[in-house]
Chains A and B, each alone.
Chain A
Amino acid sequence: MMYLRLAGQFVVIAALFTVVAAFADWPAYRQFPRGSAIVLLTFVHGADRKAECRRLTSQEIDKLPPNMRRVQDCPRGRRPIYVELDLSGRAVFRESLPPTGIAGDGPSRVYQRFIVPAGKYDVAVRMRDTARVAGFDHAREEAVTLVPDQMFVIDFRSERGEFVFH
């Protein structure tokens, strides 16, 4: 009787553990529908400063504490970056990206996913990172073919000043 009871106890424990093991990787989770791909627009880039450095007058320099005197005053704050992304002529992203940091002197950043059906697309990306109010400082257009489940990344390389497609 004792062994029978022990066997019953073991069966219950094993059954519970089996249920736990089953849910350790089942049911599978699908992030988006079959036949889709992701276009990911992501980069980190600092725009120009809001204003140019200005030479201080001798009166202004005299007013500064002796250990903090400098010739130029360079404002820290950066401009926002304006970015546009079109997929086959359809505008999917139009945004002004503010600079990061408490003083607004850090680079702007973007990390935006777009789930699209796989297929051919004309990808056009444009960016304005200077004081200009019209036109763009950087742009790239290219026809790409996205296969299902592909991660197509649009990056910007600040050192080269150009968009890179991965």
Chain B
Amino acid sequence: MIGRIRRALRYGFEFIEQPFERLFGPALNPLAQLGALGFFFFWIVVVSGIYLFIFFDTGIERAYESVEYISREQWFHAGVMRSLHRYASDLMVVMVATHLLRQFAYDQYRGVRWFSWFTGLPMIWLLYGSGITGYWLVWDRLAQYVALTTSELLDRLPIFGEPIARNFVFTGTLTSRFFTLMVFMHIAVPLILLFIMWVHILRISRPKINPPRTLAAMSLVALIGVALWKPALSQGHVDLAMVPVEVGLDWFYLPLYPMTDIWGRGGVWEFLGAFSLIIGLMPWLPPLRRARAAEVDLAHCNGCARCAEDCPYEAIRMVGRTDSLPFPSQAQVNAALCTSCGICVGACPSSTPFRRSEELKTGIDLPDFTLKELRERTVAAAEALQGPARILVFACEHSGAWRLDEAVHLPCVAMAPPSLFDFVLSRDLADGVVIAGCAESACFSRLGIAWTKQRIAGARDPYLRARVPRERIATIWTSALATRQAAADIAAFTAKIAALPRKKLRLPRAPNPSSRSNDEHLPAEAGSAT
């Protein structure tokens, strides 16, 4: 059931994301920057809030007048700031909601990712707490409606001895100190929210908390434009003798308030409780079954820290050496944080399929899918290739090529060390290599695409050697649902390789008689094949 909902949502997201990807490109696609944009709008809210606080008066009579002064007489700076404050807050809700749905759709909330998902739940509550206390401060008719409905909702809980809603039905019961309290809450709640936002990204390596500058600049200019076009205004002074019957609701922050008239206050609390419970339990409905965590083989680890650098989830840290090898540090895996994506295997300089040791080993490896097994699968897949252009596909299990039987499947394409592509081409196992990963703006392992691109471009260790003909390597970034697109791209690359002249191959290296070759089962060396 959940799987079907997830799949339907994913289709929906991909339908929307494709035109966005075409227009913005993967780097600027707002749908791939939802978390970063959420942070960005938070900072706009903070800066504009501090500015507004200069003009705001916390007196019971002066609160409304001070906000009117901001919006009417000082509209060109403070009024714009008020609109920025309002709309950036609304956009933050939009970003959070879309981010939550997208993480769910792409199944990026289970397993070790439960922590970020789970800490997102208090963020939602705090975000709404921040917004609702903000609406209260304006002390207009909307504030009266918000105050009355919120206090009626709170009175439903067995916390307060006297109904607090009684404070908002008589004139003369409220004092200025109440506004001081609300201002305090409107500052304290966002501060707690900021703290939880920090906790939210604690277990993520290189979290994106700032959108690209171009996107940020465009967003800010657009926001100012909207603020000038439709300034945020108050809805008339509070009159406690009259009911705020008709109010212009902020449907991002207050959609549940009208529901109190339909479901009743108890019904709204039941909905909120059920929503929180379901969201909180989602990572375990059902739990994600992952392969065993990566393991370090100290005999092959020189403490270079590349695996720790490349891990997308901070699962690897460098610690003092525990063996007698003359290196200062060694990698240590925190199994509770490891997603078994294999990116660390691809980052390890020991991960070279050219090694002729007794058994192919590397410094860090996946126990359920070792580098040795990867090389064996590569060789087996290559042996099955036929035709004028033999194309070997390395497919991420979350990419559009995941269904290709003849492909070598990986948890993430960045698990394949660049030397593996060199191995395939230099040993004439294939005429071309396709690296098929996730859609560029939705890498399942967060950094797999970025690291693969940088390694091939020679911008990140371990580099793809210069001798490897780049025209014989293609990268295809498609989502798991875009199987036809992936197949078409592979077919196009196959045709391109078929049109290329036959590649020149280096001569085979003389076998080392002192060690048993691990390549006994490999096809003939490149030289003999020509």
A contact set with B: CB distance below 8 Å: 5-6, 8-10, 12-14, 17-18, 20-32, 34, 36-38, 40, 42, 44, 100-101, 106-107, 109, 111, 149-151, 153, 155, 166
Q: Is the CB of B166 within 8 A of A42?
A: yes
B222: Cβ under 8 A from any A Cβ: yes
Which residue from chain B places its CB closest to the CB of A10 in the assembled complex? B218
With the chains together, A42 CA to B257 CA distance in Å? Answer: 21
Most buried by B among A22, A31, A155: A31
B511: Cβ under 8 A from any A Cβ: no
B226: Cβ under 8 A from any A Cβ: yes
Q: How far is the CB of B132 from chain A (nearest CB, A)?
A: 14
The count of chain B contact residues (Cβ–Cβ below 8 Å) is 49
Q: Report if A17-B161 is in contact (Cβ < 8 Å); known contacts: A31-B245, A150-B242, A151-B241.
A: no
Q: Report if A13-B222 is in contact (Cβ < 8 Å); known contacts: A24-B90, A42-B166.
A: yes
B225: Cβ under 8 A from any A Cβ: yes
Q: Report if A17-B218 is in contact (Cβ < 8 Å); known contacts: A24-B232, A28-B246.
A: no
Q: Is the CB of A20 within 8 A of B94?
A: yes
Q: Is the CB of A32 within 8 A of B245?
A: yes
With the chains together, A8 CA to B22 CA distance in Å? Answer: 11
Q: Which 3 A-B pairs have the closest CB atoms?
A: A25-B248, A14-B222, A111-B163
B282: Cβ under 8 A from any A Cβ: no
Residues of B within 8 A of A42 (CB): 163, 165-166, 169
Q: Report if A23-B251 is in contact (Cβ < 8 Å); known contacts: A13-B219, A111-B163, A166-B170.
A: yes
Residues of B within 8 A of A29 (CB): 246-249, 257-258
B240: Cβ under 8 A from any A Cβ: yes
When each residue 450-461 of chain B gets 1 if its CB lies under 8 Å from chain A and 0 otherwise, what string results? Answer: 000000000000
- Which of B86, B155, B247 meets A28, CB within 8 Å? B247
Contacts beyond the supplied A6-B218, A10-B222, A150-B242: 10 A-B pairs with Cβ under 8 Å: A14-B225, A17-B226, A20-B252, A22-B230, A25-B235, A28-B247, A37-B243, A42-B163, A107-B161, A149-B242
Residues of A within 8 A of B94 (CB): 20
With the chains together, A26 CA to B254 CA distance in Å? Answer: 12
Q: How far is the CB of A145 from chain B (nearest CB, A)?
A: 14
Which residue from chain A places its CB closest to the CB of B219 in the assembled complex? A13
- Which of A30, A40, A109 meets B169, CB within 8 Å? A40
When each residue 78-116 of chain B gets 1 if its CB lies under 8 Å from chain A and 0 otherwise, what string results? Answer: 000000001100110010000000000000000000000
Residues of B within 8 A of A26 (CB): 248
- List residues 1-49 of chain B with CB under 8 A from any CB of chain A: 20, 23-24, 28, 30
When each residue 221-235 of chain B gets 1 if its CB lies under 8 Å from chain A and 0 otherwise, what string results? Answer: 111011001101001
With the chains together, A21 CA to B86 CA distance in Å? Answer: 9
Which residue from chain A places its CB closest to the CB of B254 in the assembled complex? A29
With the chains together, A114 CA to B272 CA distance in Å? Answer: 26
With the chains together, A109 CA to B158 CA distance in Å? Answer: 12
Which residue from chain B places its CB closest to the CB of A111 in the assembled complex? B163
Residues of A within 8 A of B261 (CB): 31-32
Most buried by B among A20, A23, A36, A166: A20
- Which of B219, B243, B250, B258 meets A25, CB within 8 Å? B250
Most buried by A among B20, B161, B252: B161
B152: Cβ under 8 A from any A Cβ: yes
Q: Is the CB of A14 within 8 A of B23?
A: no
Q: Report if A30-B91 is in contact (Cβ < 8 Å); known contacts: A8-B23, A14-B225, A155-B170.
A: no
With the chains together, A153 CA to B241 CA distance in Å? Answer: 9
Q: Is the CB of A25 within 8 A of B249?
A: yes
With the chains together, A37 CA to B91 CA distance in Å? Answer: 36
Q: Is the CB of B28 within 8 A of A106?
A: no
B359: Cβ under 8 A from any A Cβ: no
With the chains together, A5 CA to B218 CA distance in Å? Answer: 12
B323: Cβ under 8 A from any A Cβ: no
Residues of A within 8 A of B243 (CB): 31-32, 37-38, 149-151
B520: Cβ under 8 A from any A Cβ: no
Q: Report if A24-B250 is in contact (Cβ < 8 Å); known contacts: A9-B28, A40-B169, A109-B162.
A: yes
Residues of B within 8 A of A37 (CB): 243
Q: How far is the CB of A124 from chain B (nearest CB, A)?
A: 20
Q: How far is the CB of A72 from chain B (nearest CB, A)?
A: 26
Residues of B within 8 A of A109 (CB): 161-163
Residues of A within 8 A of B240 (CB): 151
Which residue from chain A places its CB closest to the CB of B261 in the assembled complex? A31
Which residue from chain A places its CB closest to the CB of B258 in the assembled complex? A29
Q: Is the CB of B242 within 8 A of A17?
A: no
With the chains together, A4 CA to B250 CA distance in Å? Answer: 34
Q: Is the CB of B241 within 8 A of A166?
A: yes
Q: Report if A28-B249 is in contact (Cβ < 8 Å); known contacts: A111-B166, A153-B170.
A: yes
With the chains together, A149 CA to B222 CA distance in Å? Answer: 39
Residues of A within 8 A of B242 (CB): 149-151
Q: How far is the CB of A119 from chain B (nearest CB, A)?
A: 16
Q: Is the CB of A153 within 8 A of B30?
A: no
